[in-house]
């Protein structure tokens, strides 16, 4: 059975003499918890030889316009978002693509999530203070410039102000799930999140599916309207990649892939390190237009 890893597929196509376009469909910017601005993501995508990139910030569409303005005619910027949702009592990150960014219902749903994010952020600040970690309002002012606040913003602040040695340390000590300063997220039911994206003319995919992703859970999500599953991402092993693709083929799901880049880090998480081919993107386009 031939492999479908993006780099291998690229090499095979080059041997056949046919150029292959590649697309990274999972990248974050400073609009949520990324380190790169949207314009910097575009520059990195060009340098990586990509034909296109999807800006998929958490619960906000704020980076799409800036990315498109910076891209010009030679790089496609695909409308994307990563929605905080819930399925079977657990958090599920839902990727949406190719929707109308000005859709009112989608915008309202994302605004609801961001309002809850801001409240959650402030509560975590208070919990950190109760743990003896003093954070001033002046320090918080710059952090609050992000459209979609989360735990990583607080962790980065503590590292930047030398209250912690690393982001991992902050999570281990305070912000891991169930940690002393952690506050659960507000999550949209996955059926509602899927309906918002599809109502805006888009297509949906399960982001970086973990151990709770089984053929049974994928089958149930198909019943909720899911159209694709992310099968190529940095932590996805080759055996798991093949398994996800096999399930997708059996269930009639498309596949997506992306680096999930949040900023400088290991090469496997760099813009363009994971993605999909032009043929795979064409399948997503067909689903979005159907």
Give the bridge partners for 80, in sequence order: 97
pLDDT band at residue 14 under the 50/70/90 scheme: very low
Least Cα distance to 200 among 290, 100, 287 occurs for: 100
Percentage above 90 pLDDT, the chain: 82
Residues in the chain: 290
Round the average pLDDT of the chain to a whole number and report it: 91
CA distance 107 to 197: 10
Locate 148 and state its tokens.
Answer: 């979609």
CB 287, CB 204: distance < 8 Å: no
Residue 278 burial by Cβ neighbours in a 10 Å radius (0-12, 13-18, 19+): middle
Whether the predicted pLDDT of 197 surpasses 60: yes
Whether the predicted pLDDT of 17 surpasses 70: no
Give the bridge partners for 97, in sequence order: 80, 203
pLDDT band at residue 8 under the 50/70/90 scheme: low
For strands 203-206 and 228-232, give the pairing: parallel
Please spell the DSSP secondary structure of 249-281, one letter per residue. HHHT-EEEE---B-SS--GGGSTTSS-EEHHHH
Please give the helix or strand (H or E) that residue 85 lies within, else none: strand 76-87
What domains are defined for the chain? Answer: 6-102+187-289 (3.20.20.140), 112-175 (no CATH)
pLDDT tens by residue, 60-109: 999 999 999 999 888 999 999 999 999 999 999 999 999 999 999 999 99
Least Cα distance to 206 among 239, 235, 244 occurs for: 244
Rounded to the nearest 5 degrees, what angle is found at the Cα of 119, between the Cα atoms of 173 and 192?
Answer: 105
Whether the predicted pLDDT of 13 surpasses 70: no
CB 261, CB 28: distance < 8 Å: yes
CA distance 165 to 209: 30
pLDDT tens by residue, 102-153: 999 999 999 999 999 999 999 999 999 999 998 999 889 878 777 788 999 9
Please give the helix or strand (H or E) that residue 47 lies within, else none: helix 38-47
For strands 76-87 and 52-55, give the pairing: parallel
pTM for the whole thing? 0.88
Whether the predicted pLDDT of 243 surpasses 80: yes
pLDDT band at residue 238 under the 50/70/90 scheme: very high
Percentage above 70 pLDDT, the chain: 93
Whether the predicted pLDDT of 18 surpasses 50: no
- Determine if residue 97 is left, alpha or beta; phi over 0 gives left, psi from -120 to 50 gives alpha, anything else beta: beta
């Amino acid at each position: 059975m031939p492999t479908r890893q993006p780099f291998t597929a690229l090499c095979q196509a080059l041997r056949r003499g046919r150029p292959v376009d590649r697309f990274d469909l999972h990248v974050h910017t400073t609009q949520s918890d990324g380190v790169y601005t949207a314009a910097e993501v575009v520059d990195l995508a060009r340098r990586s030889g990509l034909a296109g990139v999807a800006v998929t910030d958490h619960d906000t569409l704020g980076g799409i316009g800036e990315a498109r303005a910076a891209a010009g005619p030679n790089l496609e910027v695909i409308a994307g978002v990563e929605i905080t949702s819930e399925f079977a009592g657990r958090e599920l990150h839902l990727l949406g693509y190719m929707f109308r960014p000005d859709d009112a219902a989608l915008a309202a749903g994302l605004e609801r999530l961001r309002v809850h994010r801001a409240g959650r952020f402030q509560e975590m600040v208070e919990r950190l203070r109760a743990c003896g970690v003093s954070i001033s309002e002046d320090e918080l002012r710059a952090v609050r410039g992000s459209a979609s606040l989360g735990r990583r913003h607080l962790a980065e602040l503590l590292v930047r102000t030398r209250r912690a040695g690393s982001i991992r340390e902050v999570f281990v000590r305070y912000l891991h799930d169930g940690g002393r300063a952690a506050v659960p997220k507000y999550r949209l039911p996955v059926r509602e999140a899927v309906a918002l994206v599809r109502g805006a003319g888009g297509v949906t995919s399960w982001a970086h599916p973990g151990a709770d992703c089984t053929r049974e859970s994928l089958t149930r999500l198909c019943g909720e309207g899911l159209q694709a599953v992310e099968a190529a991402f940095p932590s996805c092993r080759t055996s798991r990649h093949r398994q996800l693709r096999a399930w997708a083929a059996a269930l009639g799901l498309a596949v997506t892939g992306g680096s999930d880049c949040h900023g400088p880090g290991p090469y496997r998480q760099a813009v363009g390190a994971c993605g999909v081919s032009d043929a795979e993107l064409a399948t997503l386009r067909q689903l979005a237009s159907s």
